[in-house]
């Protein structure tokens, strides 16, 4: 059985300010580095075979911090890069709600394109790492899309608010991905 543990990257200053990041490459802040360290301490208690991350610095730095203890091969896969929000990137929550209350921004990546590339990435993981324990550092909209696609009975069509540094676990059983748990934060001191 293939198991994926999705790790949402640690916090950035834009997360803290409520700015929409998308594919804008914003680094971790000090809280984000601490969240990555806490993920590392929790995840080192289990066996993992590979660590996958995206090329965005907030994800790759989270992966590097986690990997200080795990010493895993790191694979970059941009199938799981954050959704591109077009003209909405860099806008505060208030600006977005005022100018685009429907959350549809000019030039943004469609939900269908996002889910197609994420689905392709999930197939690639299953094909490259069958029956392995996979850590995948990814992004909020990507993890939310995975939950909507593979856990519809629980989350429906709504967007799931995910905490920075949260863990989501999926298993490939009976020919499909199944969500075992999501938005786990018990390992993070700010949620203890």
- Please say whether the beta carbons of 114 and 145 come within 8 A: yes
Pick the closest to residue 36 from 65, 6, 71 (CA basis): 65
- Please say whether the beta carbons of 154 and 179 come within 8 A: yes
- Is 112 in the active site? no
Query: Per the residue annotation, which of 9, 79, 151, 187 is the catalytic one?
Result: 9
Query: Per the residue annotation, which of 37, 38, 82, 184 is the catalytic one?
Result: 82
Q: Kindly state the helix (H) or strand (E) to which residue 147 belongs, with its residue range.
A: helix 140-150
- Is 9 in the active site? yes
Pick the closest to residue 23 from 105, 84, 110, 112 (CA basis): 84
Q: Report the distance separating Cα 37 and Cα 189, nearest Å.
A: 11
Q: Report the distance separating Cα 38 and Cα 189, nearest Å.
A: 8
Helices 111-128 and 140-150 meet at what angle, rounded to 10? 80
**Please, where are the H alpha helices in the chain?**
13-17, 30-43, 57-70, 93-99, 111-128, 140-150, 152-155
φ, ψ (nearest 5 deg) of residue 150: -110, 0
Residues designated as active site:
9, 82
């Amino acid at each position: 059985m293939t198991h994926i543990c999705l790790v949402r990257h640690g916090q950035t200053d834009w997360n803290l300010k409520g700015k929409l990041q998308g594919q804008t490459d914003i680094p971790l802040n000090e809280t984000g580095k601490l969240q990555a360290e806490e993920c590392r301490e929790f995840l080192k208690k289990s066996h993992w075979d590979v660590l996958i991350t995206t090329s965005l610095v907030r994800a790759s730095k989270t992966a590097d911090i986690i990997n200080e203890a795990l010493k895993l091969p790191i694979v970059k896969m941009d199938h799981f890069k954050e959704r591109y929000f077009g003209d909405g990137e860099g806008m505060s929550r208030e600006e977005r709600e005022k100018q685009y209350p429907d959350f549809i921004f000019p030039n943004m990546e469609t939900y269908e394109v996002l889910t197609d590339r994420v689905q392709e990435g999930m197939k690639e993981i299953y094909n490259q790492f069958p029956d392995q324990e996979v850590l995948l550092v990814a992004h909020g909209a990507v993890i939310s899309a995975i939950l909507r696609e593979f856990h519809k009975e629980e989350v429906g069509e709504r967007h799931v608010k995910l905490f920075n540094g949260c863990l989501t676990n999926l298993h490939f059983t009976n020919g499909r991905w199944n969500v075992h748990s999501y938005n786990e934060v018990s390992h993070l001191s700010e949620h203890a």
